[in-house]
C-alpha cells in the first residue's frame, strides 16, 4: 500500500511539474512583443516609401497618369492604416473546401 501511494504521489508530482512548466513557458516576453510590433511598423512604413517611390517613377515614365498614381497611393495609405496586420483569416480552415463528397478531389473526371 505504501509503494502504491508513493508511486501515485510521484506520478502526480511529475504531471503537475510538466503542466506548470508548459503553461509558464511562452517563449517571448512583453518587451519582445513590443519590439516585434515596432519592427512591424518600421517595416510597413519602409514598404510604403518603396511603393511610393515606385509609383512616382511610373508617373515620371508616363506609364501612369498623376491621377492614377495619386489614387493608388491614397488606397495604399488607407489600407496601411485601416487594415489588420495579419489579415482577416477568411477561408483559412473553415471547412468550405470541396472535400471528398462535394466534388472531384482527385477522383476521376467531371
In tens, the pLDDT along 36-83 reads 777 878 888 888 999 999 999 999 999 999 999 999 999 988 888 776
- Give me the domain span that covers residue 64: 29-82
Q: Give yes or no for a contact between 64 and 72, defined as CB atoms under 8 angstroms apart.
A: yes
Q: What is the total count of domains within the chain?
A: 1
pLDDT > 60? residue 90: no
Report pLDDT for 31.
62
**9 is a domain residue:** no
- Model confidence, pTM: 0.47
What is d(CA 61, CA 38) in angstroms, rounded to the nearest whole number?
35
With residue 34 as reference, give the H or E element that holds it. Answer: helix 30-61
**100 is a domain residue:** no
**What is the phi-psi region of residue 90: left when phi exceeds 0, alpha when psi lies from -120 to 50, beta otherwise?**
beta
pLDDT tier, 96 (very low <50, low <70, confident <90, very high otherwise): low
Q: Give yes or no for a contact between 98 and 104, defined as CB atoms under 8 angstroms apart.
A: yes
Amino acid at each position: 500500500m505504501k509503494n502504491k501511494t508513493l508511486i501515485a504521489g510521484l506520478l502526480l508530482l511529475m504531471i503537475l511539474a510538466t503542466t506548470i512548466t508548459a503553461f509558464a513557458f511562452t517563449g517571448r516576453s512583453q518587451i519582445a512583443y513590443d519590439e516585434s510590433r515596432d519592427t512591424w511598423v518600421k517595416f510597413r512604413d519602409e514598404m510604403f516609401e518603396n511603393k511610393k517611390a515606385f509609383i512616382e517613377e511610373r508617373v515620371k515614365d508616363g506609364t501612369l497618369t498623376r491621377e492614377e498614381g495619386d489614387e493608388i497611393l491614397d488606397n495604399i495609405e488607407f489600407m496601411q492604416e485601416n487594415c489588420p496586420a495579419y489579415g482577416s483569416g477568411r477561408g483559412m480552415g473553415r471547412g468550405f473546401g470541396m472535400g471528398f463528397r462535394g466534388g472531384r478531389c482527385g477522383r476521376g473526371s467531371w
